[in-house]
Structures are given as C-alpha cells and as structure tokens.
C-alpha cells in the first residue's frame, strides 16, 4: 500500500510521541509545544536512589516559646540536608541516640526509618528525637523531588492555617480580658485560649478543698485523681469571673478554649464544665491524664463544655482508643510528640472516621511550626494550630524563604516551596543559642552503635 510507511511508527517514534502527549497533558501545553522532561521538578543535583544519610547535628535555640528548642540537621552524601526539631523541654540527646541507627540509610525511605526507630520514642517529650528525625526526612524528600511536603501527603485542603494562642494570665479578671482583646483586635486572631486553673485561687480562702501540708509531689506531680483536690462553689464562682471578663472583652462569636485547670478531681471537672456552659467554650483541655479513658469518658458525657486531650500521646493506637470510645470531643496531638508529620496526618484521618475534629498543639521555632503547617494543610478535620511565640519579636527572624509576618492576621500561609519551605537565618539563630552550645558542630561521639535493641519482639 502506498501509505503504509506513513502508518508505520518505530518503537522510538511511539515513545517520543507518547512522551510529548503526556507532557502536554500534564503541563497544560499546546500539542505543538516542545516536550519537557516528565520529572522536571526533580533536583538534578541529587540521585534519589543513591542518597545516604551521613550526619546528624544540632543547635539549641533558647526561649523561642516557653522552653529551649533543639533544631536538628540531617546531612546527606549529596549536599541535600533536612531540618527537624526536638519538642520543647526535651534535649537533643533524644535525637542523638538515634544517629547510629540512621547513618547510611536512604532518607527517602521515611516510613521504613520511622518504623526502625519508633520504639525509641515514648509519650510526652520522650518522642522528641524520633519526631524530629521524621520531620527532617520529609524536608529532604521535598527538596529532592522539588515539592512541598503537603503535596506528598495527598495535597492540601486549605491555603491558610488558622492560629490560636494562649493569653497571658492576670490575677485581675478585667486585665485578663484586656489581654485577650489585644490578641483578637490587634493581632487578628480568630481563635483564643486562656489558661485558667486553681493556681489563680491561691490565697483566697474556702475556694479549694484539699489536705494541708501536701508536698509538691502530692499537689502537682501526682496524676489528678490522687491529689484529693476539689473546687468549692466559691472557687467555681471566682473562676467564672475570669471567663466572664474575657467573654465580655472579646464577645461570644470568637471560639475560646481553656487549658491548665489544675490537678483536680473528676467531679470538679464536671462541675466546672457545667458552670462554663453559658460561656460556650470550645474545649477544656487535659482535664485528667489522657490514659484514664473511662474517667475522661464520664467527664465528657456529663460536661456540656467539650473536652480535648492529646499533646502528650505518641501512638496512633492510643488516639484511636480515645476516638473510638468517644472519651473526648476533640483531639490535640503535638506533631513533635505524635510521631511526626505522616503519623499525625494518619491520626487526623483516623479521627475523622469517628467524627472527631483535630486541633494541633505546638510550641517551638518556625522549623517545627512549618512541619505542623504542612500537616494541617493536608488533614481534612483540622481546626486550629497553637502558637506560643506571638510575643517573641525575633521568632520569625530565625528562618528565611517565607513571607513575613509568618503569622498574619491570625493565619499562616501554606508555603509552596520544596520541603518545609524555610531555611535557617544563621546569624539570628546564633544570636539565640543556648549558652555553652554550638551551631551544628560535629557529633562523632554518637556515630557508633552501642546497643542492639532494634526490635521489641523475639
């Protein structure tokens, strides 16, 4: 046939044509446009399959929030590095003890490495090392593939992340209200939180019933059910004065949450929840330790004020116990405790199926903040992200590469740059280092593995 040659395409022709069509479809280009490489966003200075972890170093920033925060840096054999952050209060040793277990691994195998080191985490700050490493691995992956972290979690549900913050306490209810009003009107917050506990009743007679002569351990370090402390009617009335003053200052339309009730008994939590009903609080936080599921559930069922917990929980399984039993109305993981970015995203998805919303606890530098922002952007049932640093003038100067102010009228814009989307401002970080510590100095003493407890079963 005379047109037979025109209809015959060799193997190279098929591949070339297919690539052009695929490139045009993906990039939205016209058919006649020159084809572009399919993996056009890949960092060509990196070879993903041969990427290896070569080092882990740290720098401790003093008081970016309530406590010092160690920032870690994971280096690779190809010059790509990732930043993570150990949760406030916890020291860098939680990450350093894991260094020998991640050296030589490909940092792109994020879930594999997490499962390898997961057993060395624990509830509250003990999970800080595992979570900081997980954050840094995601930062590396995003840089290698040229995409923001939220994109690797399935994309984003929102472009801006709502921020809420504590309001500094005052013994004067009216002053407390003024401070909350500043948060709303001058800082632009659309969600507020106040600390309100029995510490504000100190020195006021007949407000708290408890044994005299208690040690600090008995009063504040024992779990709540064992302190024998109960709030009286007079005490409840006094605490309600604070809530009333804040509500008068900020109005009823803005969500208002409450934290740090103090180590009080189950019945006092229920009575306070009922007394606060008319103020329409969004939640009472951590009324008793999270592992007392049955007690939490009783409080939740009997209190018209919603309950919330989760900032000290490490495992998704423990969150699921709370959610499946509806022991709390909302959960509140801290990404630097709850396994890192992917695990917290999974916790949110799990809670969604039980109809449980998720707020997020955060206190630290913009490094950990951005990890939270990416996770929150990609998690459907997210409510609001805490920030403890609104009153720290140099907080946002610790990083570069992101629009300033980072917190703008109560929101953080989700960055679209690869990885976390920020780099450190070396000069500013060095100005705020913990005295006696260095800036990402060598940690060779942690290179060698000294134990072989890599599994918890036999």
| DSSP for 422-434, written as a single string | -EE-HHHHHHTBP
Q: Is the backbone peptide bond immediately before 250 cis, with ω within 30 degrees of 0?
A: no
Q: Say what the pLDDT of residue 45 is.
A: 61
> pLDDT above 90 covers what percent of the chain?
83
Q: How many CB atoms lie within 10 A of CB 173?
A: 20
Q: Could you tell me how many helices (H) and strands (E) the chain has, helices first?
A: 16, 16
Residue 47: pLDDT band (50, 70, 90) is confident
Q: Say what the pLDDT of residue 350 is.
A: 98
Cα dihedral 233/236/237/238 (nearest 10): 120
Phi, psi (rounded to 5 degrees) for 61? -95, 130
Phi-psi map region of 119: left, alpha, beta (phi>0 left; psi -120 to 50 alpha) = alpha
Q: How many CB atoms lie within 10 A of CB 115?
A: 10
Lowest mean pLDDT among 10-14, 91-95, 408-412: 10-14
Long-range CB pairs of 420-423, under 8 A, 24+ apart, other chains included: 420/83, 420/135, 420/138, 420/139, 420/142, 420/149, 420/367, 420/370, 420/371, 420/374, 421/148, 421/149, 421/370, 421/374, 422/83, 422/366, 422/367, 422/370, 423/83, 423/399
75 within 8 A of 57, measured Cβ to Cβ: yes
CA 164, chain centre distance (Å): 13
User: Residue 32 in 3-state DSSP?
Assistant: coil
Question: Which has more confidence, 425 or 4?
Answer: 425
Q: Say what the pLDDT of residue 39 is.
A: 43
Q: Say what the pLDDT of residue 426 is.
A: 98
Q: Say what the pLDDT of residue 327 is.
A: 98
Identify the CA nearest to 173 among candidates 95, 68, 245, 110: 245
Residue 37 pLDDT greater than 80, yes or no: no
Q: Say what the pLDDT of residue 88 is.
A: 79
Give the H/E segment covering residue 348.
Answer: helix 341-353
Residue 46 pLDDT greater than 60, yes or no: yes
300 within 8 A of 322, measured Cβ to Cβ: no
C-alpha 289/C-alpha 190 separation (Å) is 28
Through-space distance between the first and last CA atoms of the chain, rounded to whole angstroms: 72
Residue 43: pLDDT band (50, 70, 90) is low
C-alpha 420/C-alpha 404 separation (Å) is 16
Task: Note the pLDDT tens digit of each residue in 3-29.
Answer: 443 333 343 343 333 344 334 443 344
Task: Note the pLDDT tens digit of each residue in 275-334.
Answer: 999 999 999 999 999 999 999 999 999 999 999 999 999 999 999 999 999 999 999 999
For the chain, domains (ranges, CATH) are: 13-42 (no CATH), 53-146+438-446 (3.30.390.10), 152-431 (3.20.20.120)
Q: What is the mean pLDDT of residues 159-184?
A: 95
């Amino acid at each position: 046939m005379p047109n037979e040659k025109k209809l015959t395409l060799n193997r190279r022709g098929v591949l070339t044509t297919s690539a052009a069509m695929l490139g045009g479809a993906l990039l939205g280009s016209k058919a006649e446009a020159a084809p572009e490489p399919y993996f056009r966003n890949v960092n060509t200075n990196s070879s993903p399959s041969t990427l290896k972890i070569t080092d882990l170093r740290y720098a401790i920033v003093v008081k970016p929030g309530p406590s010092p925060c160690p920032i870690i840096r994971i280096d690779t054999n190809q010059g790509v590095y990732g930043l993570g952050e150990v949760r406030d209060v916890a020291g860098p040793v939680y990450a350093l003890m894991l260094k020998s277990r991640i050296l030589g691994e490909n940092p792109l195998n994020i879930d594999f490495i997490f499962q390898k080191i997961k057993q060395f985490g624990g509830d509250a700050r003990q999970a800080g090392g595992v979570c900081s490493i997980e954050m840094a691995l995601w930062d590396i992956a995003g840089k290698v593939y040229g995409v923001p972290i939220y994109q690797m979690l399935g994309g984003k549900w929102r472009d801006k992340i709502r921020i809420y913050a504590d309001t500094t306490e005052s013994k004067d209810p009216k002053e407390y209200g003024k401070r909350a009003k500043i948060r709303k009107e001058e800082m632009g917050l659309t969600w507020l939180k106040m600390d309100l506990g029995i510490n504000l009743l100190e020195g006021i007679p007949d407000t708290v019933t408890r044994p005299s002569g208690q040690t600090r351990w008995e009063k504040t370090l024992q779990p709540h059910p064992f302190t024998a402390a109960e709030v009286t009617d007079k005490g409840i009335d006094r605490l309600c004065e604070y809530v009333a003053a804040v509500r008068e200052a900020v109005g009823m339309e803005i969500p208002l949450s409450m934290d740090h009730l103090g180590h009080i008994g189950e019945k006092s939590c229920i009575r306070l929840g009922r007394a606060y009903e008319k103020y329409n609080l969004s939640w009472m936080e951590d009324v008793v330790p999270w592992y007392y599921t049955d007690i939490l559930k009783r409080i939740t069922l009997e209190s018209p004020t919603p309950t919330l917990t989760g900032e000290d929980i490490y495992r998704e399984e423990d969150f699921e116990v709370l959610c499946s039993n509806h022991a709390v109305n909302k959960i509140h993981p801290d990404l630097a405790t709850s396994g890192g970015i992917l695990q917290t995203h999974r916790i949110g998805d799990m809670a969604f199926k039980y109809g449980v919303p998720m707020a997020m606890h955060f206190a630290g530098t913009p490094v950990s903040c951005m990890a939270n922002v990416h996770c929150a952007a990609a998690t459907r049932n997210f409510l609001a992200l805490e920030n403890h640093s609104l009153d720290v003038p140099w907080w946002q100067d610790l990083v570069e590469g992101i629009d300033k102010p980072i917190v703008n009228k109560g929101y953080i814009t989700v960055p679209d740059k690869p990885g976390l989307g920020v780099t450190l401002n070396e000069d500013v970080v060095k100005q705020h280092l913990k005295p006696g510590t260095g800036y990402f100095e060598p940690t060779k003493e942690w290179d060698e593995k000294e134990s072989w407890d890599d599994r918890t079963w036999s």
